[in-house]
Structures are given as structure tokens and as C-alpha cells.
Amino acid sequence: MLRSSFFRLFVPLFALLTISASLQAQGLDDWASIEAEAKGQTVYWNAWGGDSNTNDYIAWVSQQLQSRFDIDVVHVKLGDTAEAVSRVVAEKAAGNSEDGAVDLIWINGENFAAMKKNGLLYGPWAEQLPNFALTAPGDNPEMRNDFTLPVEGLEAPWGKAQLTFYYDSDRVESPPRGMQALLDWTQDNPGRFTYPLVPDFLGSTFLKQALLGLVENTKPLYEPVSEANFERVTAPLWEYLDSLHPHLWREGKSFPSSGSALRQLMGDGELSLAFTFNPLEPAAAVANYQLPPTIRSYVLDGGTLGNVHFVAIPFNASHKAGALVLANFLLSPEAQAHKQDIQVWGDATVLAMDALNEKQQQAFAALPDNPATLPLGALQRTLPEPHPSWMERLERAWLSRYGSR
């Protein structure tokens, strides 16, 4: 009910705004003039600031843009991406359609869906970026789909994520490789596994992963959720969680707040099995002394959820040219290789190796490595994200079941 009224209210508004936005998007084919216009601009890049590796990488990007393009990039460190969305909403409420405070947002999934739906985005622009072709979007449909929602050039791919499990090989001999095995494992090792508190992104992702692994037919999950079939489709998930929770960390009465908190619990030795959305995070965390050197990574046998994270420009960004140049630089082989370095950040590239020349490929091949790194080839088994409407509905159902003991 909530959703339908939501649509009724927002669709007309959205239509209005996409028209005006596409008018502004002209002239993207003349890249040189964009670079010229961007010169001297200050770009406010709103990006989650909870991870020091990410922050350091963004600081490096900012240095590069200063020296190469004379663009001043300011990292606005968010606790939650929704803070930036709120700001754009408030600006729109005030009729500020030209000099918004946010120039670029690191975004995907629900936040993208919400901004797209409410006409808060500038574009289309992403496919006109000179470096966009290096992602080989024809072979990699996930570059054009964000949680099944068509991107339509409103955001540019930046990095790749895939649900990756990791464990302490000192304490675990053979980790569980499927959802049922996970349940058995927790029964033998009570209190040594948990997942982040829903609606944290990673926590909600675990729900979707479990659901995909438990249902026979995954097709309904790739269509908008309907109240009619929700109970039936998700019944196996609740049954599973009901038996899983008593064996979780703190008997499922409390959950860590985020994926990073989960990692900290692994570092403290409270857990011996955990998971992350960034396949290279365990290796980077070992290199960074946050995890023991005995950590190993793997992907579930049936494959795990994967998605791409993007950058988007709000409809009222003050420095669109600068934001475009920044987004294009983020897609450059040099910036992507530096990002994938586990001693820097360890965020997987979105570029297709086939689309790169030999020298560019070499930059990726030469990156450092350690035993915690996910074995090559594991990332092939990627399951696409369900329709974004499932996320919100699952979160609501989870909260009403487990949100208050």
C-alpha cells in the first residue's frame, strides 16, 4: 500500500525532471570542452568514509585530479550514503535546482533506485565517458543494471563486489560451502558466526543470498515483489533463520552493525567464519594487521550474489563538468589497477581485461598478493541481484520477526 501511493506521487515528478535533466546533458560528445570547463572547479564527492583504505584511495584520486586536470576534489565522508540523498531531497524541497552541495555520489542499489525514482539524478551521461567502453558493457550486462534496475546512463560503474566468505584456517578445517552446510556448521560451532544487523547492506545481502540458496525457483525474485506471493516464496528463509539464530553469535539476540564490525569480531577472535561483499577485503585486512594471517577466502558452491557499485551526479550538482572528468578518471586503467591493489584498497576492477591493451593488463597482473586472496576463477560464479523491491520487503519482514526479540 505504501509503495503504490509512493509511485502515484512520484512518477509524474520524475517524468518532469528527466526531461529537464536530459536537456542539460547535451554537449557530452565534446570531451575536450568538458575538461576545459572543469578546470579550476571544486568537486564535492560524497562517499562513505568508514574505511581508511577507501579514504586513502580517494585522497590519492584527489591528488591525481589536482595535478592532471586542475580539479580540486573534496571527499565528503558520509556515515551512510543516504545522508547525501537526504541533502539532495532537502535542496529540491527548497527549489535549489542549480547549485547543489553534492557533485558526485558513490551509490548503488536502494539509494540509486530512490534517486532515480524521484528524479534526483543528472543524465544520461555515463555511457558517453571515454573510458566507459573499457568495461565491455556488451559482454558484462551488470554494467548497465543496478539490482535489476536499468542504469540508463545515470551512473557510471566504479567497482565490483561479490559476496565472499572468509574463515580462520587455524580454527576451521573445512568451512561450509552451502546454506544447509552453514546451518550444520553453526550447530557444531555455536556462537562463531553471525551476519550484520538488517537493514545494513551486507546483512540484507545475506538474507537474499540465503533466499536464493533455499528456494527451488528463483524466478519470482527477479520481478517486483508482490504481497500475494511474498509469504509463500520466503517461507523457507524464515524456517531456516529460525533454526540458525540460536546458534549464532550472542544467540542471535544482537547483531554487529556492519560488515566492518563483522570483520572486527573476526579480528578479535569472537567469530571464526564471516563474509564480506568485497572479495579482496580479507586479503587487504590481513595486509593491514586487522585479521590474522591464517585467514582464507572462498565462494559458496552454488555461487554468490555479486553487483557493481557506481558513481552518480545529482540533478542540481554545481560542478557537473568536474564530476564528469572525475568519473572518467575513476574508470581509467591506472586508477582501477591502483584501486585493486590490496595494499591500497583491494576493490575489484570493473574493466574487462580483453578490452585493455597489453601494458594496461600488465598493471593488473603485477599487483601484490597473499594467501587470504580469493583464488582466481571463484568470482565467475556470480548470481545476479534480485529486484530491489525484495530488499525493502525482506528487511521489513526480518525486522518484524527478529527486530525485537
Of 160-179, binders to other proteins (CB under 8 A) are 171
Instruction: Determine, following the binding rule CB under 8 A, whether residue 261 of this chain makes contact with other proteins.
Output: yes
Nearest to other proteins of 187, 254 (CB atom): 254
227 binds other proteins (CB under 8 A): no
Secondary structure class of 119 (helix, strand, coil):
coil
* Closest CB to other proteins among residues 61, 351: 61
Q: Which of residues 187-216 bind other proteins (CB under 8 A)?
A: 190-191, 197, 199
Q: Which stretch binds other proteins (CB under 8 A): 6-14, 209-217, 299-307, 327-335?
A: 6-14
Q: How far is the CB of 43 from other proteins (least distance, A)?
A: 12
Strands 295-298 and 382-383: unpaired
What are the beta bridge partners of residue 298? 165
Beta partners for residue 73, in sequence order:
43
Least CB distance to other proteins at residue 117 (A): 8
DSSP category for residue 196:
P
Q: Is 67 in the site for other proteins (CB under 8 A)?
A: no
The yes or no reply on residue 136 touching other proteins (CB under 8 A) is no
**With contacts defined by CB under 8 A, how many residues of the chain interact with other proteins?**
79
Q: How far is CA 131 from CA 101, 157, 298, 332, in A?
A: 26, 11, 31, 6
Shortest distance (Å) from residue 128 CB to other proteins: 27
Q: Is residue 92 part of the contact set for other proteins (CB under 8 A)?
A: yes
Residues in CB range of 239: below 8 A, 6 or more apart: none
Burial of 394 (0-12, 13-18, 19+ CB in 10 A): buried
Does 246 sit near other proteins (CB under 8 A)?
A: no
Q: What is the dihedral of CA 156, 383, 198, 216, to 10 degrees?
A: 150
Task: Pick the stretch among 15-23, 244-252, 302-310, 374-382 that binds other proteins (CB under 8 A).
Answer: 244-252
CB of 130 to other proteins, least distance (A): 29
For residue 246, what is the DSSP state? G
What is the C-alpha separation between 18 and 118, in angstroms, rounded?
Answer: 10
Q: Can you tell me which of 224, 269, 302, 375 binds other proteins, judged by CB under 8 A?
A: 269
Residues numbered 325-384 forming contacts with other proteins, rule: CB under 8 A: none
- Pick from 116, 160, 208, 263: which binds other proteins (CB under 8 A)? 263
Asked whether position 72 contacts other proteins by CB under 8 A, the answer is no
Query: DSSP label at 100?
Result: B
Contact segment (CB under 8 A) with other proteins among 26-34, 291-299, 362-370, 373-381 equals 291-299
**The amino acid at 94:** A
Q: Residue 50's Cα: distance from chain center in Å?
A: 14
Pick the closer one to other proteins by CB: 79 or 377: 79
Strand ranges in 97-197 using DSSP code E only, listed in sequence order? 104-107, 145-146, 149-150, 155-162, 164-168
Residues 18-57 that bind other proteins (CB under 8 A): 44, 46, 49-52, 55-56
Q: Which of 292, 352, 361, 387 binds other proteins (CB under 8 A)?
A: 292
Residue 128: how many CA atoms within 13 Å on its side-chain side? 16
Q: Whose Cβ is closer to other proteins: residue 295's or residue 356's?
A: 295
Give the E-state strand segments of 108-173 in sequence order.
145-146, 149-150, 155-162, 164-168
Which of residues 226, 243, 257, 380 is near other proteins by CB under 8 A? 257
Grouping H, G, I as helix, E, B as strand and the rest as coil, residue 183 is helix
CA distance 28 to 127: 10
Instruction: Find the helix packing angle between 358-365 and 333-340, rounded to 10°.
Output: 10
From the list 87-95, 121-129, 298-306, 353-361, the region that binds other proteins by CB under 8 A is 87-95
Residue number, 109 or 220, with CB nearest to other proteins: 109
Does 141 engage in binding with other proteins (CB under 8 A)? no
